Amino acid sequence: MLRIKLALITNMSTKYRFCGLIFIAFTNLCISTPAYSHDEFISVIENVKPSMVTIRANKKKSFFKTSKQRERESILGEYNDFFENGFDKLPPQRNGSGFIIDTNAEYSWILTAAHVVVGSSKIIVTTSQGSSLNATLLRSDSGSDIALLQVNSGQLPTLMLSENSLKEGQSVLGIGAAFSLSMSSSLGIVSALDVKLPALSKTPLIQTDVSVNPGTSGGALINSSAEVAGLITKIYSSTGVFSGSSFAVPAKKIKGLLQRWRKDLAVPITAEKNAKQ
């Protein structure tokens, strides 16, 4: 191909030879250099996935009650649970994702979305190695939809919270257990920053086009350095499934909460630096 181009140029006048050489250089550069490669995220996924967990939260018993049922509850008191006839139970289980943020020889601490675990009677965390662990809810913040869990298992792989600010157009990776299936990844870009939604009006969010579906809540928004840039919390959809926009709580907000909770809790969680195992 190059020989044909050069042969054509030799038959041109001097006036056009220079332009022909520039054209060849430009076309060869375009052919040999792709516009963008996503291959850099292959190693990112490999590094991040071991620190991801799936979460199953069994909700506390709740009922829709008629006036007669409420009256009976006031009479029976604590024994009311033994007489459940006529009660319609709410959905008993919620599924989500999370990631391990710190660990020591005995315990590990996990971040997830508060709406997945708050109000639960039992929380089960499943690690990437397949271990199922009972988790304790230590703290939650409804204003930012962040929750901190603890499991009695140490020396687990952890993720670092990013120190760098995101920029619009920057590539990011969302990782979570969509539809409660195996952990999966979705690549997208930052669509907007400092976005406020009615449900979380006090927390400026990261808006992306990363695909997020039920089960991904609490998952990690990851930058190209394999660091947590945000915690996936919500989608903007009228159908309940992804329709183009998803939202995450920025790492900066998460750090602020961890610093505050660390003062209240007798646990060594750290927001500044997390050593990868």
Report how far residue 10's alpha carbon sits from residue 25's, in angstroms, rounded to the nearest whole number. 16
The CB-based long-range contact list for 182-187 (8 Å cut-off, 24+ gap) reads 183/49, 183/52, 183/54, 183/97, 183/128, 185/41, 185/45, 185/49, 186/210, 186/211, 186/212, 187/38, 187/41
**Of the residues 140, 144, 217, 246, which is catalytic?**
217
Q: Is 205 exposed, middle or buried (0-12, 13-18, 19+ CB in 10 A)?
A: buried
Of the candidates 58, 112, 52, the one whose C-alpha atom is nearest the C-alpha of residue 233 is: 112
Report how far residue 115's alpha carbon sits from residue 146's, in angstroms, rounded to the nearest whole number. 8
User: How large is the angle between the packed helices 14-32 and 2-10, nearest 10 degrees?
Assistant: 170
Whose structure tokens read 């599924």? 95
**Of the residues 51, 108, 120, 145, which is catalytic?**
145
**Residue 238 bears catalytic tag:** no
**Residue 217 bears catalytic tag:** yes
| Lookup: tokens for 191 | 């669509």
**Residue 115 bears catalytic tag:** yes
Report how far residue 239's alpha carbon sits from residue 237's, in angstroms, rounded to the nearest whole number. 5
| Lookup: tokens for 1 | 């191909």
**Of the residues 115, 153, 184, 246, which is catalytic?**
115
Q: Which residues are catalytic?
A: 115, 145, 217
